[in-house]
Structure 1
Amino acid sequence: MRKSLYAGLAVLLAAVVPAVPANAVHAYQNYVALGDSFTAGPQIPEQRLDPAGCHRSSANYPSLLADLLVARSAVDASCSGADTTHLTQPQEVGDDMNPPQLSALRPETDLVTVGLGGNDYNLFQRIVETCPVLRAQNPTGAPCRQYFTVNGSDTLRAIVTQTEGNLTDSLRRVRERSPKARVLAVGYPRIVPANGFCGAILPFADGDYAWIADLEAALAGAIANAAAASGSSYVDVHGPSLGHDACAQGGSAWVNGAVDRDDAARFHPVRAGMQGVSGLIYAHLQSP
């Protein structure tokens, strides 16, 4: 399985990032990954049991990146459902508990990836649980955008603004805990396409696609701003995932649609997406 993962990763690297010289990437020895389900990889084989409720995959991007870097130690503290509060607070996952993710950091940690923000104030959950239900009201309109617009204000855009502040504080905490580490704020891949729609895969009203795409772009901007404000580095996944949204055909999608699969949760990354993100991070590490 691992061999097939890297065969696929080589193809994705060639497609979305520049060629990576063999000796170009600094030798990182102590890597820690923090994040939510887009980091953990629910239902992507093989699932880890430490704890099982976090739904971490042994083929998620932290695992693939650790192998690419040949890191001496790699700790994946990501957990499905996590938001920025779970950096400092334990997270209940079924009958288990995931400790505060910051507890994985050490003074000797020299690389940290942080993939958080989409769960703050239940941003993603509000979209994927509400918008498909409202589609029947106006299949060609934008009923979900209208639902979340109150007194002329887009309440979900307001959430993105609040999330930027949370991320800025969170990234500063990471840097305080591991001052020698290079800290990377990792963005999210696109769920909806930049143009068009695919109702059989993503059951949103036609007019809501563009609105959701704008929210995804706004969240990417918020993560980039938080990285800059905290002295961290932003890994753009939104831009390079153009054409790899859930509507993409021919196996090029990085994200699953609205139906659970044996190898990917609904509205979550597939294995190709994890390969793509690990390649983007690896290429980013070439920069000073």
Structure 2
Amino acid sequence: MRYVLVLVLVLLACLAAAPAEASGRIRYVALGDSSAAGPLIPDQIDATCLRSNRNWPHVLAGRLGATLTDVTCSGATTADLSGRQAGIVAPQFDALRRDTDLVTLAIAANDIVLSSAFVTCASPDGPVVPSCRDQYTTGGVDQFQARIAATAPKVAAALAEIHRRSPAARVVVVGYLTYWQPGGCYPADPYTAADANYIQATFDRLMVMLAGQAARTKASYVDIRNPSARHGLCAAPATRWLEGAVPASPAYPYHPNAAGMAAAAAIIAAAGVAR
């Protein structure tokens, strides 16, 4: 009887200690900015970071059957990965563990303050003067290009730190969805053809940098820009993955909507990130 009792206790202890290992569930940590957080997409689960439970990290985790720790936060820069964002949000790197299996990172648009172009280059009442390109060119130097170059080593350092903290994890850098096809759709969207082309080209240069830093640090890069080309701001509301100045579905202006988040998750999953 005593032997049976001891055996039962041992079995119960094993069952209590083993679920995570036995289930084989992927331990997944999502890092990044509003492009991953999903501001204003219902349901919002973090009022400070404007994080949605229908953002692409959540949808991806569901597809993979993963255990998710989502610390994406609207407005985040590379500095907020290791430091406290606005003095109140814990460093995103605090979520990383040595046994983390998968890490996704969506970052850098805020490092180059690309959101400023959406404010200063909008032309609801006619083309702005000077043009967007001219506004962001000083002494013949494109300020966004200079900022992208300055951000590259910050991204590289962030990826190196992710590898250090989670040495067994697959690290995946995710880009940004397409905003405009060439020429935009002015005046339906308040950016002239030249300005829409300029802002999209800046996003594209940013993503080239991200892909390059991923390759240099043995991380993977997932392109969601090309698969989303027909689903940008000029697409019909039913097929749009991003919302414009007046959103047709719940989302922060000039950010992904729920359809865009679901599509991004499908693209990332199809890239085989769980392998």
Tell me the TM-score normalized by structure 1.
0.82
Tell me the C-alpha RMSD between the 2 structures: 2.0
Report if aligned partners of 1:169, 1:230 keep a CA contact under 8 Å in 2.
no
Paired AA for residue 197 in structure 1: G
1:82 aligns with 2:80: no
The 3 A distance-change label for structure 1 pair 142 and 228 is farther
Is the radius of gyration larger for structure 1 or structure 2? Answer: 2
1:90-129 map, 5 Å: 90-92=84-86, 97-122=88-113, 124-129=114-119
SS in 2 for 1:75: strand
d(CA) in 2 for partners of 1:136, 1:157: 28
Q: Report the count of equivalent residues.
A: 252
Report if aligned partners of 2:30, 2:104 keep a CA contact under 8 Å in 1.
yes
d(CA) in 1 for partners of 2:152, 2:137: 20
Report if aligned partners of 1:43, 1:265 keep a CA contact under 8 Å in 2.
yes
Report if aligned partners of 1:28, 1:111 keep a CA contact under 8 Å in 2.
no
1:135-172 CA-to-partner distances (Å, cap 9, x unmatched) read 75736x87111111112221111112222221111111
1:63 Cα deviation (Å)? 0.5
d(CA) in 2 for partners of 1:63, 1:287: 15
Match of 1:132 among 122, 129, 140: 122
d(CA) in 2 for partners of 1:86, 1:237: 23
1:36 aligns with 2:1: no
1:199 Cα deviation (Å)? 2.6
Match of 1:153 among 136, 141, 162: 141
Show structure 1 runs of 5+ residues with no match.
Answer: 1-26
1:162 aligns with 2:156: no
The 3 A distance-change label for structure 1 pair 84 and 28 is farther
1:233-277 CA-to-partner distances (Å, cap 9, x unmatched) read 001111111111111125211111112566100010001110111
d(CA) in 2 for partners of 1:269, 1:173: 28
Paired AA for residue 62 in structure 1: P
1:244 aligns with 2:231: yes
Tell me the TM-score normalized by structure 2.
0.86
Match of 1:4 in 2: none
SS in 2 for 1:175: helix
